[in-house]
Structure 1
């Protein structure tokens, strides 16, 4: 990071809620600089060394960026494209836009050009902020396609020294310009901090686009600040957290749980060196708050299991003795039972020999608050981490609610619920079974979409599109999307995602699509988890050459068959999967089969794999499938695969 910037005057007042708390993220930044200026705000691992900036230095850099962005034409109500992995200056640019009453529109860093065009259509952004050369190249392609952005500001200069395209400028140059003006106009800093208001847009995010073009979802400063404060009142955030910024910047989970909570709770935001070093850097940070998607927890469990298999005989023996005991004890606790003296003694020994070392190995030794959300987490995975001493809990929310609707509280954790509404959140179920939410964290409407807004928000209530119910203890249970409720030919009503989640509880299944609407039985297209199944195969001396080869091994077909058969025991007779096929590849966002947040695009899957689905409802045991592929060059081709169709024992 750079040397500390010149200290800037901080105004004595800023936008506040009625309770005196900051009402904008800019106000929170000013408050932190004034009251906790020397506390570490951002810590970034760069070239193997953790480098720090305190809140006073962050405010100075944000204001310098804001001045320079204003000079380049960033106006109130305009969007700023932000693309790249987690970097301090990308976060600072978001706040700089907020200073000007503009808003960032972050984009997933791996989006292809066609998706980038869609993701940047709102707000007609003329300025973009990019992490590195790869993203600059992508933005230049975007400019060639649609004529903007005219200005591209980059953080990492490597590879960009010879670029002669107009409008490409480094953050170094931009910040230097801003500093110079701030020094010339000493009253400007205070004036800048006072511009943003609670109802200004603080970020423009996008829906996953599972059924069409993504909607623009504008979160206001009021939505984020009040939502975080309500969550803190419910005990889900604490002051001075250690946060770990590794989630995609275009996901609501990163903006609200990292940047929003970091500012409002005066936390320290730790940023890994790169995505490849996340697990290593996590161990060094040991955050107090940790959020991960269900698949990430599954992968972490697989990593532990693989590590133990390759460990010493003594460590394997200790793991095999104490972990089953811990899981059984946690299951007993969740059922309302109390551990006996003997169980507590065994658990105490396990804590010293197994549980604490494993938590430290994962980097979660200090994680007092650990959460998962977005979809259901497998019961085995959930129990494992809680048994390990990590207080893992489920939460529920959508981008439209700042992801802050309901969450489990310690002492009231149940396996199949997402907890109770947070403070300030009203929740009800309408006659169709849809979950409705009213809260200060709920958006006022979609971006430039009056029709979509009128459908989604009625009398202040957000129609979430999710089906669910509230149990006798007041806990919310989410079943799936209302729009995905379908019926078999026999008229049985079901939600495919609910069955898919149960199948994905297995570490051996990464993705799955359940087919059956209007048909006489259910079938499934399964994508194996290459790492987990690969390790399983290696332990059994089953050789393979690729994902496609491994997926079609008879032993692997039998393995997946046992998973499907187990899930069938939990399903009514008419809603059991009768046949399945292991796909030769995983579903891919670049192929449009899933969204960037890994939600299925069913219409794409049913079109792409129409011939395969037809075979699933036939009688043959094998089918030849011509699969379309896209090479890295962008060229398209076809590859022929012979896929095995398996019957599931009744």
Structure 2
């Protein structure tokens, strides 16, 4: 089929998939412990019923239809149905507090909202006095909704039934609106995480999503028999491109877990062939593995460490098809039988053909751990404004220190100041109601400023990202300051959940550390250390000793890099609370808001740059129900062991 004849919209791809893959599974969802499945033909019927229901409550062309909830087939269907009606789907983060939702719903002018359950409905009702454009609310889960005022609200199932009942009135209108869709029609509007200010509405067209899905699917040879697990926030561009864009292009199956609590069990049951996770997911899984190994018997522990040593040496080479001696291959095969295979099965990674990580830089050691098991984990570099893909790692060219080569159809260049620029068919249309930001980010020729600093390796053509351009600076003596580089090294240790490094224009670097409660709590239990709270455990002298050892190891590693040796951590503290999106310290995608933390904890930073050994602090926190409170603590300020720096080559 020629490129011209290909569908020009997501609803067009849906119709094509009904013809090509009508009887194959399109969506699965686990509910009440049982997997339910819908073929492409069945999904099409459900989506059309929702579209008819939306028409019955007055959805017009260009209306914004917000979708708030966890990953469920019906929520994806609602977004596609909105497109059928000529409306614009706007998915929101389900864990966002009411104030965050109010801004997005007001900014996009949402007239219709699809909520997952009572909790999301309550948030929308709570902000009703600030968001006055909302005309109708639909909800997926009926539990707890019986006594609500249903004058402008009903269940999504009832909305579908209402649409089907009136299909004679709405069918012709629906067909007309679908026929109007083309490559330049808006496909979705996604709001950025807002690390430096209010979130911006990124408008992505059908051209952006479909061309990107087509090119990236071709790159990794994705097809209708692949399986993905949809568990990341629907408001994030990655989930949209994987669970709608690529799913619609290739016809593969999208599987929705029952809940976040059952995610790992559901992952094992599905055994996806195509999998994406941000580094924090891989870090969390590795932490759990290491915790379990600490509790294992002597023989099992010995087998694990013995065969993992072999895997680190030859596993990635075998995965890339490089030459490995017969003895090493046989030894690896035995390890696969005894260790790697069972471990991959436990993680749910037995069938993975292509795996990706992105969003933040992943620790090299963590990355190599998974590849040594024979998991084809690769890195990509992308942005919401690029419809995800800017660079990808081709099979056989996977490394832990680069993000690959430009994705198909993408041009990348490095600016004079080291900033990375790109342009591609996936380049966003505009920031909604924000022409100034659009103009400052995308020039008239279509080049987009990423805000990241990087460079191409001349020998391989691979892109290396150093850090966020705004975060990269210089120490007082002129040496490079790249905080993310240090933070990722620190987060390799299972006991360290998060790290924030400061040092720009200073004589030396300092760090805030968040411990991982699961990993450190397990360690404390094994060592007979009693504690009653996160705060008490974080301040324990033995915990400080353990973290100090990790910081010293990281410093020795950094000292070996002449370019970044000035980034060694001289002093650190362990924070008395976890950094939290509800407190504004992180985005909903768990990116650190460095400027917020710098301002909020200015007293702690000043103390670390002084010579005091402790400091009393009060911190405002937000509880799950939205109430504000204060926690107090006296924090210990610890010195770190600094390694001798290697001399720069002449």
TM-score tier by shorter-chain length is over 0.9
For residues 343 and 316 of structure 2, the distance between their equivalents in structure 1, rounded to whole angstroms, comes to: 20
Q: 381, 400, 404: which is aligned to 1:415?
A: 400
Give 1:20 deviation, angstroms. Answer: 3.4
Secondary structure of the 2:432 match is: coil
Secondary structure of the 1:354 match is: helix
* Other-structure match for 1:568: 555
Gap regions ≥5 residues in structure 2: 643-650
For residues 412 and 182 of structure 1, the distance between their equivalents in structure 2, rounded to whole angstroms, comes to: 53
* Other-structure match for 1:516: 503
Q: 125, 129, 144: which is aligned to 1:140?
A: 125
Change in 2 beyond 3 A, CA 1:94/1:340:
same
Change in 2 beyond 3 A, CA 1:70/1:186:
closer
8 Å Cα contact 1:79/1:122 also seen in 2: no
Change in 2 beyond 3 A, CA 1:397/1:236:
farther
* Other-structure match for 2:586: 594
Matches within 5 A, 1:153-232: 153-164=138-149, 166-183=151-168, 187=172, 190-232=175-217
Q: 22, 33, 44: which is aligned to 2:7?
A: 22
Deviates more, 1:281-290 or 1:111-120: 111-120
Structure 2 residue 637 is matched with structure 1 residue 645: yes
Structure 2 residue 461 is matched with structure 1 residue 469: no
For residues 356 and 479 of structure 2, the distance between their equivalents in structure 1, rounded to whole angstroms, comes to: 34
8 Å Cα contact 1:17/1:23 also seen in 2: no
8 Å Cα contact 1:511/1:528 also seen in 2: yes
* Other-structure match for 1:244: 229
For residues 8 and 369 of structure 2, the distance between their equivalents in structure 1, rounded to whole angstroms, comes to: 39
Matches within 5 A, 1:384-533: 384-458=369-443, 459-471=445-457, 472-533=459-520
Which whole-Å deviations, capped at 9, do the CAs of 1:14-65 have from their partners, x for residues lacking one?
A: xx98353332111110101122211111111111111111111111221121
Structure 2 residue 142 is matched with structure 1 residue 129: no
Give 1:573 deviation, angstroms. Answer: 4.4
RMSD: 1.9
* Other-structure match for 2:606: 614
Deviates more, 1:190-199 or 1:224-233: 190-199
Q: How many residues of Structure 1 are paired with residues of Structure 2 in the alignment? A: 635
For residues 624 and 416 of structure 1, the distance between their equivalents in structure 2, rounded to whole angstroms, comes to: 40
8 Å Cα contact 1:68/1:178 also seen in 2: yes
Change in 2 beyond 3 A, CA 1:634/1:231:
closer
8 Å Cα contact 1:143/1:150 also seen in 2: no
Give 1:317 deviation, angstroms. Answer: 3.2
For residues 17 and 347 of structure 1, the distance between their equivalents in structure 2, rounded to whole angstroms, comes to: 46
Secondary structure of the 1:442 match is: coil
For residues 169 and 434 of structure 2, the distance between their equivalents in structure 1, rounded to whole angstroms, comes to: 43
Secondary structure of the 2:213 match is: helix
Structure 2 residue 262 is matched with structure 1 residue 277: yes
Give 1:97 deviation, angstroms. Answer: 0.8
Change in 2 beyond 3 A, CA 1:438/1:236:
farther
Give 1:207 deviation, angstroms. Answer: 1.3
Give 1:331 deviation, angstroms. Answer: 5.9
Structure 2 residue 35 is matched with structure 1 residue 55: no
For residues 503 and 130 of structure 2, the distance between their equivalents in structure 1, rounded to whole angstroms, comes to: 41
Structure 2 residue 144 is matched with structure 1 residue 152: no
For residues 255 and 594 of structure 2, the distance between their equivalents in structure 1, rounded to whole angstroms, comes to: 37
Structure 2 residue 530 is matched with structure 1 residue 543: yes
Give 1:360 deviation, angstroms. Answer: 1.4
For residues 336 and 283 of structure 1, the distance between their equivalents in structure 2, rounded to whole angstroms, comes to: 27
Give 1:400 deviation, angstroms. Answer: 0.5
For residues 485 and 294 of structure 2, the distance between their equivalents in structure 1, rounded to whole angstroms, comes to: 32
Deviates more, 1:560-569 or 1:341-350: 560-569
Which whole-Å deviations, capped at 9, do the CAs of 1:137-158 have from their partners, x for residues lacking one?
A: 1111121333242311000000
* Other-structure match for 2:648: none
* Other-structure match for 2:292: 307
For residues 246 and 97 of structure 1, the distance between their equivalents in structure 2, rounded to whole angstroms, comes to: 22
8 Å Cα contact 2:279/2:357 also seen in 1: yes
Which whole-Å deviations, capped at 9, do the CAs of 1:104-140 have from their partners, x for residues lacking one?
A: 1111111111111122233311110000011111111
* Other-structure match for 2:645: none
Which whole-Å deviations, capped at 9, do the CAs of 1:149-208 have from their partners, x for residues lacking one?
A: 231100000000111253111112110111123256665564443232111111111111
8 Å Cα contact 2:493/2:550 also seen in 1: yes
Give 1:575 deviation, angstroms. Answer: 2.3
8 Å Cα contact 1:22/1:264 also seen in 2: no
8 Å Cα contact 2:52/2:171 also seen in 1: no
Deviates more, 1:501-510 or 1:168-177: 501-510
* Other-structure match for 1:7: none
Q: 539, 556, 571: which is aligned to 1:579?
A: 571
Structure 2 residue 99 is matched with structure 1 residue 114: yes
Structure 2 residue 399 is matched with structure 1 residue 383: no
8 Å Cα contact 1:100/1:195 also seen in 2: no
Q: 52, 57, 62: which is aligned to 1:77?
A: 62
8 Å Cα contact 1:526/1:582 also seen in 2: yes
Q: 621, 624, 641: which is aligned to 1:629?
A: 621
For residues 336 and 243 of structure 1, the distance between their equivalents in structure 2, rounded to whole angstroms, comes to: 25
Secondary structure of the 1:623 match is: strand
For residues 86 and 225 of structure 2, the distance between their equivalents in structure 1, rounded to whole angstroms, comes to: 27
For residues 511 and 89 of structure 2, the distance between their equivalents in structure 1, rounded to whole angstroms, comes to: 40
Gap regions ≥5 residues in structure 1: 1-15
Secondary structure of the 1:194 match is: helix
For residues 538 and 116 of structure 1, the distance between their equivalents in structure 2, rounded to whole angstroms, comes to: 40
Give 1:315 deviation, angstroms. Answer: 3.2
Which whole-Å deviations, capped at 9, do the CAs of 1:453-509 have from their partners, x for residues lacking one?
A: 111111111111111011120111111111222233333332322322222222222
Which whole-Å deviations, capped at 9, do the CAs of 1:261-317 have from their partners, x for residues lacking one?
A: 111110111111111111011111111101011010011112222233334554333
8 Å Cα contact 2:290/2:494 also seen in 1: no
Deviates more, 1:217-226 or 1:69-78: 69-78
Deviates more, 1:89-98 or 1:181-190: 181-190
